[in-house]
Amino acid sequence: MNNKSRKSRKLNFNLTRKVIELEDKGYCLDYMVLKGQLLCVQNNQSIPVEAVHICVVDQGYDQLSSCFKYIHTVDTGNGEKGVMITDAIITNNATSLAANKKIHH
């Protein structure tokens, strides 16, 4: 196996390891941004982005999509916590959400 292959596998492994680490800390739900809202994949609940705290915690290169992915934690006001993996950095500010809408529309 060449060095580039090993490095790519290591980065993918690091992303997976970080998600597992966050799950161990109670970040058990998965979220995605959809039309300016966060959507919980497990329960299909839509939450206004302004109602949650979003924090970028890691990044790495994804071989499958050939781009960098950003891992975010999502803390809701009702105690639910989850993880969101995106192609862009997402925060609660309008500029970031506008950039994300351009990426996903």
Using one digit for the tens of pLDDT, what is the confidence trace for 62-99?
A: 877 888 999 999 999 888 999 999 999 998 754 444 44
What confidence score (pLDDT) does residue 87 get? 92
Q: Answer with the residue of higher pLDDT: 99 or 54.
A: 54
Which region among 16-25, 56-65, 74-83 has the lowest average model confidence (pLDDT)?
Answer: 56-65
- Rounded-to-integer distance, Cα 71 and Cα 89, Å: 8
pLDDT of 25 > 90? The answer is yes
Q: Answer with the residue of higher pLDDT: 14 or 84.
A: 84
- Rounded-to-integer distance, Cα 47 and Cα 41, Å: 12
- How far does Cα 55 stand from its chain's mean position? 9
pLDDT of 101 > 90? The answer is no
Tens digit of each residue's pLDDT (9 = 90 or more) over 43-52 = 999 999 888 9
pTM: predicted TM-score of the whole model, two decimal places: 0.76
- Rounded-to-integer distance, Cα 79 and Cα 27, Å: 10
